[in-house]
Structures are given as C-alpha cells and as structure tokens.
Amino acid sequence: MLSPRLLSPLLVLSVAVALAAAPSPAALRATSDYVPPELAQMMKPASSELRELVERFTTDRNELERFYSVKTSALHLRRMREFYQAWQQRLGQMAYDSLGAEGRIDHTLLRTHLVYELRLLDREEARTREIAPVLPFAEEIAQLQESRRLMQPVDPKVAAATLEQIRKELEKARAGLEAGLKADKADATKPEASTDAAKAMAETKPALITVTRIAAYRAANRLTELRKSLDDWSKFYSGYDPLFNWWTRAPAKALNDGLDGYGKFLREKIVGVEAGMDEPIIGDPVGRDGLKAELEHEMIAYTPEQLIDIANREFAWCDTEWKRAAKEMGYGDDWKAALEKVKHDYVEPGRQPDLVRDLALEAIKFVTDRNLVTVPPLAADLWQQKMMSPAAQKVNPFFLGGDDIIIAYPTDTMEQDEKLQSLRANNVHFARATVFHELVPGHHLQWYSLARSNQHRQLFMTPFWVEGWALWWEFQMWDLKFPRSPEDRIGMLFWRTHRCARIIFSLNFHLGKWTPQQCIDFLVDRVGHERASATGEVRRSFNGDYSPLYQVGYMMGALQLRELHQELVTPGKMTDRQFHDGIMQGGSMPIEMVRAHLEQTKLPRDFVPSWRFAE
C-alpha cells in the first residue's frame, strides 16, 4: 500500500507556530475596507422595470404556499393553478415593446417560470392519482387541516367520526396491499376452486392492491406529510376546546398508531427499507415528457439524447488527458493506477481544515493577481469552515460550499473502511480542485453576489448558473495552468470526468433506462469513484430534493459559459473581469438569459430558446 502524506509531529508543531504567527486575512484587514470605496457608483435606478413585479409574484406565491400548506391536496393544487393562470393572463396583457433589455429578460423569465409551475402541478396531480389507492384517505386528512386554516368551526363529535372513518379506510388499504403481496407469492400450481367457491372467497377478501416500489416510496413520504398535518390540526384544538379531547382522544390515538404502522409497512415490506440500514436508493424518474419540461424551463435547446452525446464527447477529451497525466507519472495508459496513487496522497486526520485554508487563499490570490474577477474583501475574508457529520457524508461524500465550506473527512465514530474511503475520496489533489469550486471564485462568491445584485432573480435559480459557474472556473483554472503537476491534473480530471458521468447516469435514470445500481457501478468503473462515494452521489441525486436536471447543470452550464466567453472575451469585446463581474451582477437565471444580459439584447416577446452552444 502506498503511504499517505502524514504530517510528522515536528511538521504539526511547525504548522501550529505558523498559524499563531499568521492570522487569517479577516483578522488583519481594517473593518473600513468592507465598505465600498465609491458609494456614488451604487446610486443607480433598478436595472429592470419588472423587478418589483417579480418580487411581488414571489412574495404572494410564498404566502399562498404557506397558507395552503397540505401539498398536493385538491385545494392546494386548485388554488396554485388559479394563481399561476391569473399571472399568465395579466403578464400577457402588459405592454412589452416599451421594456428595456433587462425588463424583457425578466418578462421572459417569469413567462417561462409560470409555464413550468403549471407543468409541475400536472405532474403532481398525475402522481397523486397513481398513489390514490394506497392513500384513499389523504384528502380527508387534508380537509381537516384546510378547514381549520379557513377558520371554519369544528364539531368535535363529527371530527371523531371522521378520524374513525379514516382509520377504517387505512386498514382497508393496508389489507388490500397485504393481499396483493400474498397473491404475488401464491403457489401457481394450487388447484383452482369452483366458480361458486371462488366467488364466495372473493367476497370475504379485501380487494387486491398492487403498487410499484417507486409509488410506495412516494406514498410513504406523503404519509409523513399527512401525519404532520394531522398533528398540527389536533394541537390547535387540544386543551382549548373542552369537548375536542373528550371526543377525539381515543380515535386520534388509534389513527396515529395506524398511520405510523402503515408507514412502517410501506417502507419495510414494499420499498425495502430495513431497520437500522441505510435508506435504499429509489428515486422517482420523470420520464421523457418530464425531461422535456425541465429542459424548456432551463432554456436548453437539446434533447436528452443529444446531451448524452455531448457528455460522451467531453468524456473523450478527459480520457485523452487522463492517459497523458498517467504517462507523465510513469503509469503508461493505466489511468486507474495513477488515480490510485493520487488517492493515497491525503493529510493526517484532523489537518484537513489547514489544507482547506491554504488552498482557499491560494485560489483567491490566483484569480485576483490575474484580474479575472472582482473579489470584494468581505467575500475573500468572511467564510467559515464546518465539519460534515458521518451521516451527512453518506449523502454528500465530498465538500459542500456556499456561505461557508463544509468539509467531509473521517471522524472517530466511522467504521475503519469508511474512514479509509473518506480519506482517499478527499485527498490533497481532489481537494485542490474542490476548494475553489466551493469558495472563491466559486459558490461563496456567487452567494455573496446573490445577496447584493438583482436579488429578485433568485426566483429563477438554476443549477446551470449555480453549478455551471463553479465548473466553468475549473475549466478556466485548467487553461491558466493552475494545476502544478500531473497529480494535480488528475485531481481536476476526476471532477471533470465526474460531471460528464453525471449527465449520462442521471438522464438514463430519468429516461427509465438505468437503475440506481447501474448508476453506482458506472461511477466506480468509468470515473474511479470509491464505492461509498459513488453510492452517496447517486443517493443525493435521486433521494433528495434535487431537480431532474441538477446533475446535468454542471457540465452544460459550464459549456454555455465557455461558448459565451468565446463570443465576448476572445474577440476583445469584454475583459475577463468584465465578463465574470457581469455574470455575477446579473443574478441567477438560465445561461441563455445571462447571454442576453451581457449583450443587452432586446428579446422579442415570443422568444424561444435556440442557442446551440455545444456545436
């Protein structure tokens, strides 16, 4: 086994002395440096005539979502649909020709967003219908909470009868599912009963209910939400209405026990979640139509298959660079052997925060020395380090960034194999490519800018802007010779290859072509992931709250920015700094709208995305 880069006691002592002698930039800088030097430059009118309009939409939408809080109930879906359709109508009636470039961008963004929200409601309605046989009582629970929100008086006696009725419906649904499971396992060779006997048996048995694993997973999650709504409804009256507890205490307890048991049954018997084990990766594929809606929302004029082809083309570039780096390291074409050596170059447990600090300061100096982007003193100094828990590392096996950087590294409670995999997955060379992605000029600089420029466009937040920006900087740093050695290049290539792989596995999953296990195996075999980190990546992609195109957004967003850089910076229309500052000042939005912002294009009212940025 290759030896890791362990810090000797003398070196550890030297690091401690250096830390004491060299405080962070935040400790050295004068507080007055955090105030903009020329306040007059900030005295500008709003860049978009529609800024307040977008802010009003966002605030009103959030109020409706807060009030109609039982997600996917009939009332929630109806109210939100009416809201979006009314906004569509009013937006269509607005005078458009008098709007400037920024106003037209916001008009186009909001128009596209409304279409997308309505499509999401269609998707939710279809999914709700699919699980209705499993949760036939869902609407009754929703109506209890919604009646309270509408301040309608409660009749405790009627409420108790409703709770009992819901419990009976729950038991009937569970019996139907249990019968369906038994039917699947029934002996096919068992002699058939006579017609009369079969009819008599059918009348005494519950109706069979069959459900897919994915639908059961969706139903179990919905059941958790319904349980919370029921608790909230009950707590409002409990102790305040003297007859409420008298009537409802017993039926409420019976129903709550039934809901808890039903949720456990769905997860363990159908989904396959075993007590004490990690949650299996289920996911919920959106299908081709779902991907089409997502791509139109992101203003991407490519099909899923075309995006996979682009990813494979970028993969081929990575393969060539892998072999070049491996040869320089003395491994010929064996890139996996070179990668294995790189993975063993990690710092001693407990020293990763020191490495992260040094890498962050190195990257900030690199981009500022070259005048690539404005890094305000607050953005450069005021970020913090936080450590990731072992449980979180099963979902996010690497760094996370934004306001701060969250460091993934082994803890003393991990199993031995988990510790070693975490050390290897967060080695020095992977970290050197990750830290600037998460901090400056990556996500931390983004978050700084989002809070200060065109904040209303956070409604249009997209991974193509968020993750595309951070990966674009990996492209830039590579081209500007930031990696100092073939080992550093392998660290950067690992992530670049990983972003190609994300497109391929996520789109194939949502198209229904690949299982989660195939996605994991692909990351291990094709990218060189540790199996634990590959599992975490796939779990994060499919079991979390990420959009279906989130993993596509990294590479495709970066490719869009690369093409835009070639259109504007390469011919001398802008400097690097003007280009990057302009992206940050424009706010979060699909990159085709970033293009319109930088070029101050006056979009036509019927604008349809058509940019073929990867030709």
Phi and psi at residue 613, in whole multiples of 5°?
-80, -10
Is the confidence at residue 16, as pLDDT, over 80?
no
Which tens digits make up the pLDDT trace of 437-488? 999 999 999 999 999 999 999 999 999 999 999 999 999 999 999 999 999 9
The answer for residues whose C-beta is within 8 angstroms of residue 542's C-beta and 6 or more apart is 281, 282, 283, 284, 509, 516
C-alpha to C-alpha distance for 419 and 349, rounded to whole angstroms: 9
C-alpha to C-alpha distance for 305 and 602, rounded to whole angstroms: 31
Which tens digits make up the pLDDT trace of 146-180? 999 999 999 999 999 999 999 999 999 999 999 99
C-alpha to C-alpha distance for 475 and 82, rounded to whole angstroms: 44
Instruction: Give the burial class of 163: count Cβ atoms within 10 A of its Cβ; 0-12 exposed, 13-18 middle, 19 or more buried.
Output: buried
Q: Which helix (H) or strand (E) holds 385?
A: strand 385-387
User: What is residue 204's predicted lDDT score, i.e. its pLDDT?
Assistant: 54
User: What is residue 378's predicted lDDT score, i.e. its pLDDT?
Assistant: 92
- Give mean pLDDT, residues 599-614: 97
pLDDT band per the 50, 70, 90 thresholds, residue 501: very high
Is the confidence at residue 365, as pLDDT, over 50?
yes
User: What is residue 352's predicted lDDT score, i.e. its pLDDT?
Assistant: 86
User: What is residue 390's predicted lDDT score, i.e. its pLDDT?
Assistant: 83
Contact 449, 436 (CB under 8 A): no
Domain limits, the chain: 51-131, 138-186+195-271, 290-599
- Give mean pLDDT, residues 295-300: 98
User: What is residue 109's predicted lDDT score, i.e. its pLDDT?
Assistant: 99
Is the confidence at residue 138, as pLDDT, over 60?
yes
User: What is residue 198's predicted lDDT score, i.e. its pLDDT?
Assistant: 46
Is the confidence at residue 561, as pLDDT, over 90?
yes
User: What is residue 135's predicted lDDT score, i.e. its pLDDT?
Assistant: 98
pLDDT band per the 50, 70, 90 thresholds, residue 17: very low
User: What is residue 421's predicted lDDT score, i.e. its pLDDT?
Assistant: 81
User: What is residue 5's predicted lDDT score, i.e. its pLDDT?
Assistant: 42
pLDDT band per the 50, 70, 90 thresholds, residue 495: very high
User: What is residue 197's predicted lDDT score, i.e. its pLDDT?
Assistant: 44
**CA 366 → CA 26, 362, 384, 472, distances in Å?**
18, 6, 20, 15
- Give mean pLDDT, residues 5-10: 38
**CA 319 → CA 133, 326, 533, 554, 557, distances in Å?**
49, 11, 21, 19, 21
Cis peptide before 441 (omega within 30 of 0): yes
- Give mean pLDDT, residues 389-401: 76
User: What is residue 22's predicted lDDT score, i.e. its pLDDT?
Assistant: 53
- Give mean pLDDT, residues 280-287: 90
SS3 260: helix
User: What is residue 11's predicted lDDT score, i.e. its pLDDT?
Assistant: 35
Which tens digits make up the pLDDT trace of 119-129? 999 999 999 99
C-alpha to C-alpha distance for 496 and 564, rounded to whole angstroms: 19
What percentage of the chain has pLDDT greater than the value 90?
73
Residue at token pair 């978050």: 447
Q: The pTM is what?
A: 0.89
Contact 113, 459 (CB under 8 A): yes
CA 35 to chain centre: 34
Specify the CATH number for 51-131; select among 1.10.10, 1.25.40, 1.20.58, 3.30.160: 1.20.58
User: What is residue 25's predicted lDDT score, i.e. its pLDDT?
Assistant: 72
What the block records as the tokens of 164 is 């009992």
Is the confidence at residue 41, as pLDDT, over 80?
no
pLDDT band per the 50, 70, 90 thresholds, residue 118: very high
Is the confidence at residue 498, as pLDDT, over 60?
yes
- Give mean pLDDT, residues 82-107: 97
User: What is residue 425's predicted lDDT score, i.e. its pLDDT?
Assistant: 82
SS3 407: strand
User: What is residue 44's predicted lDDT score, i.e. its pLDDT?
Assistant: 60
pLDDT band per the 50, 70, 90 thresholds, residue 101: very high
DSSP per-residue codes, 537-582: HHHHHHHSS--TTHHHHHHHHHHHHHHHHHHHTTTTSS-HHHHHHH
Is the confidence at residue 246, as pLDDT, over 80?
yes
Cα angle: 556, vertex 402, 523; to 5 degrees: 45
pLDDT averaged over every residue in the chain: 90
